[in-house]
Structure formats: structure tokens, C-alpha cells
Structure 1
Amino acid sequence: MVGVTAPLAGSADPEVRSSMSTRVATDEDGTSKLSRAATIYDVAARAKVSHQTVSRYLRKYPGIRPETRERVELALAELNYRPNQAARTLATNRSLRIGAFAYEMLEVGPSQIMQGASRRARDAGYMLDLVTLFPSDDEATQNAINEMYQQNLAGVIASAPTDRVREALEAADFGVPLYIETEREDELGAEHESLNAVGTRKLVDHLVDQGHTTILNIAGPPSWIASLNRVNAYRRAMLHRGLEPLDSLHTDWSAASGYKLARQMPLDRGVTAIVATNDQVALGVVRALIERGVAVPDDMSVVGFDDIPESEFFLPPLTTVQTHFDMQGKYSIDMLLSMIHNSEAPVREDYVSADLVLRSSTARAPVA
């Protein structure tokens, strides 16, 4: 978890504020190429017009000659110019809009986080503008960042599921405060655990208390921060209880991937319990086990993570961890508001927790 405030560089003309760097690179043919975001002065120089002409074009002034308009448009395209809407807002009025980078909005967790953020923003007098990220597509991530540049915003929140997404966001200059939620454990400090770590530890402790000693962890994608946190927490919890952790198996968060993995995994390793990376994966695992003649929970206990609304209606109802997604969204907004207003930051523990929810998918370890 990290909050980053983007500094506001000053400029007399709000159209100028895209970047204040002045480095220039050169192509092999000797043509100069900007290595930072273009300003209207760069566009004016390329089009051989005044910067006032470029500014009038951007404001849709009608009295520009066609040939001049053509040169400006060509220069804008060649330099990939993006007007800094945040600077325009500072020159006119205070924005009451917050930008939010979201991903996988069809999934319960991300959608509930954004719902909580939207409600909290509305309560504080702001509107939330969503832009969708695609964590596995670097080009799409950059396109999403470019789209956010076009908005009139007071600040930006983002959930960064991978280090690549986080790096792209931190490299962006939105000209307004930026809060990035990552739950990177190496940045929380030794006295704090991530929600993923707390929840996984509680699940492992519950299974060990039920007499299970050989517990398999089915994890999410290895590049995702949440998945990595849960794998590390599983290993720590097992070692803390004096047990040997098994090598984690990886899925893509979906019920289908959990089903496929559980249909293929060997059943002769003495495993009596499975920690699934989320409730959807657990659903697929349970179905595959039943199809293979393994009774849940009599032969194999299975736990999930997230406590999605459907988990209590699984067969059997799923033991899982509730992480209060909506409160995570509210916390992100309050963190951003503290950055916008330079006020005291909220205490994370006042908003979020990982609570064990016991249901019928776990039982005492079977007697050999």
C-alpha cells in the first residue's frame, strides 16, 4: 500500500503544464524527438506558429486559417500531445471529480471496492470517474493512463494488482494527488500484515486446529501482489505451526481454473485440506473433488477467500474469509482526501479487517 502525491509544477499558461522536463532525444536520421510529454510551445515550434495560436486551436477558436489549422493538427499528432486538464481546472475552478482506475469489474471484489469508493466520494461531495485497467496488457494500461489525463480531476485513486501496473501509474504525472492501493508487504512495516496475509493465516490456523497437517495451497497468478501475499502467508503460517508447507499450485482466479487443476492433481500425497486463493477457485475445486469421489468435507476440507455473496449457498457452504471490500474503497477515498486537503491520514485498521467465516466445507481431519 503506498500513497503518492504528484507535485504541481507552476506555469502561467495552463495549457503548458504537461511536463517541465526539457530533455530531447535524437532519432537515427537526426530528427529531434521529445523524451517527455509535449507542451504547446513544442507544438507551436513544430507547426511554426505562435503558442497563442495553438492555445486558440485547443479552445476550438473558429477564426484559424485552414492551412494553419492543418499544421497545428499535424504537429499535435506527431508529438502525441495531451492537454493537461488538471492544470486547466486549477486555472478556473476546483474540480469535484475523482478519477479511479479499476479492473475486472465483473468480479465481486473489484466491483464492491469501487461501489464503496463511489459512495464515500459522493458523501464527501465528489463524483467518481472510472477508467478500466487491463493488468496483463501494458499498452492498454498506458492507454487508460492517457485517458485519465483528459479528465478534470481533484485526485486519482488506483488499485494496482501487479508491479507492472503500479510502476506505470507511478511514472504518470496527473498533476494532482494520486493514491495507489497495492498492499505490498515490504512497505507495510514489520508491525503490520496485509489483509491477504491476515486472512490466509486465519484459514491455515483453523485447519491446523481441526487436526490437518498436510494442507495444499492453490494460489492465484504468480505476478499478482495479492496472490504473492497469500502464498507467503500460507508458508509462514504452516512453518509457525511446525508444519512443512507444500509447493503452491497456481490458477487464474476463476472457478474453471480451480476445477481443471483439481481434476488433474494427484490425490495420493496425503493432503486432507486445501486453501483456495478465492471463493470462485474453491467452487471449482469442490466440484472436481466430488466428481473424483472425494467427499467435502469428510475426506477433504476446502476453504476460500473473499466471502462472495454466493459462498454461503455453495454445496457445501464455504468456509472463507471476509475482507469487507466496500470499506477498502472508502479507505482509499479518505486517504486521497487527506492528501488533497493536507489533513491527517485515516487509520487503515479503523476501516478494514479479515474475518474468518466458518461454514460446512471444513471438518476434523479424517483418521487414517
Structure 2
Amino acid sequence: MRRATIYDVARQAGVSHQTVTRFLNGFEGIRPETREKVQAALAELNYRPNGAARWLRSRQSNRIGVLAHRMELSGPGRIIVGANAAARSRGFVLDIASMDGEDAASVDAALDLVMEHQIAGVFATAQTDVVRAAVANRAIDIPIAIDSGEGLASAGDNPRAHPGLLAAAHLAELGHRRVAFVNGPSMWIASGERRTGFLDEVAARGLELVWETEGDWSAESGYRASRELPEDVTAVALANDSMAIGFIFGLAERGIRVPEGVSVIGMDDSPESRFHLPSLSTIRLDFEGEGAYLMNVLIANIEGESVADVPGYELPELVARGSTAPIAAK
């Protein structure tokens, strides 16, 4: 089947091909009724931007290099999903280079790989300061987007600390006073921010942090942590859902029921969290929105557009499920 062109779209919508081009380039001065006609025609014809034609016209590549760390984890993987959707909607293609974000040599090798090709920009998922430093130390003369926590729909002194803050607030509101925290790897920026948010809210609410430890984001590390939980703790927050699921399994082996014996809350709202038994209370993060935001900022810089016009993404929010309960119910 022949691929639709902008001329096909123009005929379908009853407009000029120049109007379709302006729409695809993000021009704001198009009347709402005309915009609706073009959007409908694009959908009906399944129009896809022609990257090769773009290159021939402007000599600008439509490829973006991505430095990806721990894609198997829910958060980083979903950020890339959102970034890819945003890139495709603007006619860009991603060249993904995996790396170990805790190893400077690995980050440098990934940068070398993407920079060998004709790319319009670099998108880095910077879960560690190692990634940020490696990118900052390179003389890169094309636009770069680094996962920074900016662009949230609502402002705050440290928006990325909200997951920890919300988890502590939820446990306090359920009446828990003696709590514990299982963090992710200390090298990860998100770990420090989630821990800071949790501890700040624990102090503000007058709770007692009885015990804390560190995992590696895996269910196995959550399981190991469960073996060490003191008996007088009534609620535990974990810095991601995978560790929380492993933690609950370990508590079951100890004969401790959740939430009757201990309330457990995770963070991220991973797809499997609501299907666990009990269903996992968690903090929902808009990872796909974050990826789309960062990619749209990058493309705006590539195209010379205003970054201020890029819509933000949603703040974290509590999702209360079956793994947390009021202390009075124990």
C-alpha cells in the first residue's frame, strides 16, 4: 500500500499542502477548525513523517542518540517509551545505546557510539551523577536533554522528593508511628531524593524511623531486607515496587501478614503492582510523561522552538491499595 504524503493529507482535509506542513512543524497560527480537519486527515490516512525527505530538504538528521541505563527497570524503561512516542510524533528516530550508568567508562563508550553517527541531539537517562558528569565533560555541539526532574505540572522545591514524602504522609495518616525505609542504590539520584522526601516528612509528622537499609531495586534485595525487619515496626516504605513485592514475600515466610501485621508501600506504580496479593499501595509517577517532556524539550531546541511552550508532566500521586491499613486495625 502506497504511503500517504502531505498532498494526500491536504486533499483529504480540503486545505493546502502548505497548511499541512505548517501544522506538522508546530505552527500555532492555524484556525481551530482547520487544525481539526488536518488532524482527522492525518489519522484517517495513517500519515507518517518522511525522515529521508526531511534530511534532503534541511540537511538536518532526524535521528536522536539515546544513552539508556537499566532499561529493564520500570522507571527508566517507561521514560524511554514516552520519549520514543514523542520523537515518532515529530518524525524523529531513536538510536539507543545501553550503558552502565554507574561506570564512567561505559557511559563514555555509549557516547562514542551515538556520536559516530549523524544525529540531531542526545537524550540521556541520567539516573546517576556519573552519567551527568560524563555528558558535561564532553564537548558536544548538538542539543542535549538530561533527565532532570524539571517540567512537572506543579512546581516545588524538590518535586522528585515527592514520592518519599507522599509515602511517609500516607503511613502517618493511617496512624503508624514506628516506620522503616528500604532505599535504592545510593549512587542513584532518585534514591537520595526519595529518601530525603521520606525522612523529611517522617520528621515533620513526628514519626520514628526505627530502621532503614539499602537494596538494588530488585525483588531479591527486597526479600533479603525483609529478613532483618525489627518486630516493633508497623509500616515500611520501599523506594520501588519490585523491592516492595519481594519484601512482602519475605514477610510471608516469616509468618507476618500484610497489612495486618505490617503495612507496606512501594513507589513507581509499576504495571504489576495492582495484581499482587495483596494489591500494592504505591506512589504513581508519570514516567511516560517525563520522557515525552524531555524529548519534546530536546526537539524544541533542535528545531529552534520555544521550550516554554512544551507542556509539563504530572506530579507523583498516592495510589492506596490493599497492602496498607490503619494501625487501629492491627
Alignment TM class, shorter chain as reference: 0.7 to 0.9
Q: Select 2:252's aligned residue among 290, 293, 313.
A: 290
TM-score, scaled relative to structure 1:
0.70
Query: In structure 2, what is the Cα distance between the partners aligned to 1:129 and 1:326?
Result: 18
Query: In structure 2, what is the Cα distance between the partners aligned to 1:167 and 1:161?
Result: 12
Shift of 1:219: 0.3
Letter in 1 for 2:306: E
**Does the CA-based 8 Å contact 2:172-2:207 persist in structure 1?**
no
Q: Could you say if the C-alpha distance between residues 207 and 348 of structure 1 is closer, same or farther in structure 2, counting changes exceeding 3 Å?
A: farther
Residue in 2 aligned with 1:125?
Answer: 91
Residue in 2 aligned with 1:178?
Answer: 144
Residue in 2 aligned with 1:223?
Answer: 187
Query: In structure 2, what is the Cα distance between the partners aligned to 1:330 and 1:232?
Result: 26
SS of residue paired to 1:215: strand
Query: In structure 2, what is the Cα distance between the partners aligned to 1:328 and 1:334?
Result: 10
**Does the CA-based 8 Å contact 2:258-2:324 persist in structure 1?**
yes
Q: Deviations over 1:308-339 (max 9, x none)?
A: 11111111000001112111110011111222
Q: Could you say if the C-alpha distance between residues 231 and 347 of structure 1 is closer, same or farther in structure 2, counting changes exceeding 3 Å?
A: farther
Alignment map for 1:151-190 (pairs within 5 Å): 151-183=117-149
Residue in 1 aligned with 2:204?
Answer: 240
1:149 aligns with 2:115: yes
**Does the CA-based 8 Å contact 1:177-1:340 persist in structure 2?**
yes
Alignment map for 1:178-217 (pairs within 5 Å): 178-183=144-149, 192-217=156-181
Q: Deviations over 1:136-164 (max 9, x none)?
A: 22221111111121021111111111112
1:306 aligns with 2:268: yes
Query: In structure 1, what is the Cα distance between the partners aligned to 2:321 and 2:309?
Result: 31
Query: In structure 2, what is the Cα distance between the partners aligned to 1:295 and 1:348?
Result: 46
TM-score, scaled relative to structure 2:
0.77
**Does the CA-based 8 Å contact 1:117-1:332 persist in structure 2?**
yes
Residue in 2 aligned with 1:280?
Answer: 242
**Does the CA-based 8 Å contact 1:331-1:346 persist in structure 2?**
no
Q: Select 1:356's aligned residue among 318, 323, 329.
A: 318
**Does the CA-based 8 Å contact 1:272-1:366 persist in structure 2?**
no
**Does the CA-based 8 Å contact 2:103-2:130 persist in structure 1?**
no
Query: In structure 2, what is the Cα distance between the partners aligned to 1:215 and 1:349?
Result: 37
SS of residue paired to 1:264: coil
Query: In structure 1, what is the Cα distance between the partners aligned to 2:59 and 2:118?
Result: 10
Q: Select 1:325's aligned residue among 287, 294, 302.
A: 287
* Alignment RMSD (CA, Å): 2.4
SS of residue paired to 1:245: strand
Query: In structure 2, what is the Cα distance between the partners aligned to 1:107 and 1:367?
Result: 34
Residue in 2 aligned with 1:261?
Answer: 225
Query: In structure 1, what is the Cα distance between the partners aligned to 2:311 and 2:266?
Result: 23
Shift of 1:349: 7.3
SS of residue paired to 2:272: helix
Q: Could you say if the C-alpha distance between residues 114 and 157 of structure 1 is closer, same or farther in structure 2, counting changes exceeding 3 Å?
A: same
Query: In structure 1, what is the Cα distance between the partners aligned to 2:309 and 2:78?
Result: 21
Letter in 1 for 2:74: V
Structure 1 or 2, whichever has the larger Rg, is 1
The gaps in structure 1 that reach 5 residues or longer are 1-88
Shift of 1:367: 6.9
Letter in 2 for 1:121: A
Letter in 1 for 2:305: S
Q: Could you say if the C-alpha distance between residues 111 and 297 of structure 1 is closer, same or farther in structure 2, counting changes exceeding 3 Å?
A: same
Q: Deviations over 1:258-288 (max 9, x none)?
A: 1011113332xx2100001100000111011
Q: Could you say if the C-alpha distance between residues 297 and 327 of structure 1 is closer, same or farther in structure 2, counting changes exceeding 3 Å?
A: same
**Does the CA-based 8 Å contact 2:179-2:211 persist in structure 1?**
no
| Aligned sequence identity (%) | 35
Q: Could you say if the C-alpha distance between residues 160 and 231 of structure 1 is closer, same or farther in structure 2, counting changes exceeding 3 Å?
A: same
**Does the CA-based 8 Å contact 2:127-2:189 persist in structure 1?**
yes
Query: In structure 2, what is the Cα distance between the partners aligned to 1:348 and 1:242?
Result: 40
The gaps in structure 2 that reach 5 residues or longer are 1-54
